[in-house]
Amino acid sequence: MNIEYFAIIFVLTTFTFLLSGYPVAFVLSGISLIFAYFGIMLEIFDYSYLLAFPNRLYGIMTNQNLLAVPLFIFMGSVLEKTDIAENLLKSMNSLYKNSSGGLGISVIIVGTLMAATTGIVGASVVTLALLSLPVMLKNGYPSSLACGTICASGTLGQIIPPSLVLILLADVLSSAYQQAQLNAGIFSPDTVTIGDLFAGAILPGLILPILYIFYIKSQKINKNQTDNNNVQDYQYQDLLKSFLPPLILIFLVLGSIILGFATPSEAAAVGAAGALLLSFMQNKFTKNVLEKTSRQTIKITSMVFMILIGATLFSLVFRGFEGESLIHSLLIDLPSDKNISLIIVLILMFFLGFILDFIEIIFIVIPLFGPTLFSLGFDPIWIGILIAMVLQTSFLTPPFGFSLFYLRGVAPKNISTSDIYKGVYPFIGLQILVIIFIFLFPGITTFLPEILFD
């Protein structure tokens, strides 16, 4: 059998078993070992690729950047257990209660701040839905508009730093970018850092909520009911008390990374300590909270690293079957502009987002396609932000968007699934508009990194 056909069968078999619901890490590693065994028996696979696995595994465990993963997860878990979102939402409702669309604007702003502190999409959507959906419906908002606003705001955690998507993307993109340079004969390759992607995501992360707010303001809402009733009056002291802690935490974490005062791991440690201090100041720091957040952190971190280990073995076996050469030839030989190759990869990742989690997509797809894309001359920061935006849009798109499932699980029964779908379509359109804008003008993502890190 032609070795390239074997590589194709290997990938198709892996994705078939991924749909079975069996743990992804074990599917990746198990299928890889099985195909490697048959490849060795058929003498079409060099077992020396497997000998490289221990070194790769050691590299993962000693990667300083990946230390930021459990720390940021812990920070988000601690903040998830406090009343930070509830206090923010009540204060914002008070601030905007006399303006048209004020409740929707409040949800968007709170969703943006939650994205910049917790970065946990599921928790953001559920929290915003439980706190704001009944109030928005009671104050005259159409159910579709309320649901769409909540889903879109909660999903901002995919693109706004310190997003877990960007942290994992930075490491995988850096490896693929270095591999492309080594293949081109550059033996002192450049890298892509977490700070690069954080800086590159700032402008897109600000553009999206601004467009959301303009859309909310353009909608006609019953002014006889909207935003004026059932909203508790808050003093400016309450507003400052709810706003200052998360803003200070955001500045300490992101500011220290972008301004070069701390590495991502050090900034994540500051964020984790700051989250604990914040919970202590709000009298939420208890043994039970600490135990729950620690368990959640261990569980999510273990899942991330197990998938990373399985994906590493998968990429080694795929490379042993000359799959990298196959992808390179397919994308390079396309009889059109190189941008078509990029568009094909982005569309593939968009549809994979319906059936796979972003962690799985990052660890599986980027090592396969990344080196070839970078060999075509694409900027890694630009590629990284485009991928993050596409995955965020996939998270929001019916009928399989994960954010829609999160909202459906907590929304009242009188809200139909079609209402949720109808509500997210305008926000999906805005996200696609921003993706096109970034695609046409890469400087949106590379401008800040060039200024800060050049």
pLDDT along the chain (454 residues), means of 10: 80 83 84 91 86 86 81 80 69 63 83 75 77 81 90 88 86 89 83 88 93 88 50 59 78 80 84 86 81 87 85 86 76 71 88 77 84 88 93 85 82 86 93 95 91 77
Q: What is the pLDDT of residue 163?
A: 82
Tally the domains of the chain. Answer: 1
pLDDT of residue 395: 84
CA atoms within 13 A on the CB side of 152: 34
pLDDT computed for residue 433 by the predictor: 95
Please tell me what DSSP assigns to residue 83. Answer: S
pLDDT value for 227? 44
* Helices marked H in 229-379: 236-250, 256-258, 264-281, 287-320, 323-332, 338-352, 358-375
Q: Which residue, among 259, 231, 254, has the nearest Cα to 97 in the 3D structure?
A: 231
Spacing of C-alpha 292 from chain mean position = 23
Cα dihedral sign for 364, 370, 372, 373? positive
Instruction: End-to-end CA distance of the chain: give it in Å, rounded.
Output: 49
How far is residue 349's CA from residue 343's CA, in Å, rounded to a whole number?
10
Q: Can you give the pTM of this predicted structure?
A: 0.80
Rounded to an integer, what distance in angstroms lies between the CA atom of residue 358 and that of residue 304?
11
d(CA 451, CA 242): 33
Which pLDDT score, from 0 to 100, does residue 389 have? 93
What is the C-alpha to C-alpha distance for residues 208 and 440, in angstroms, rounded to an integer?
17
Q: Find out whether 444 and 208 touch, Cβ atoms under 8 Å.
A: no
Q: Which domain holds residue 280?
A: 3-453
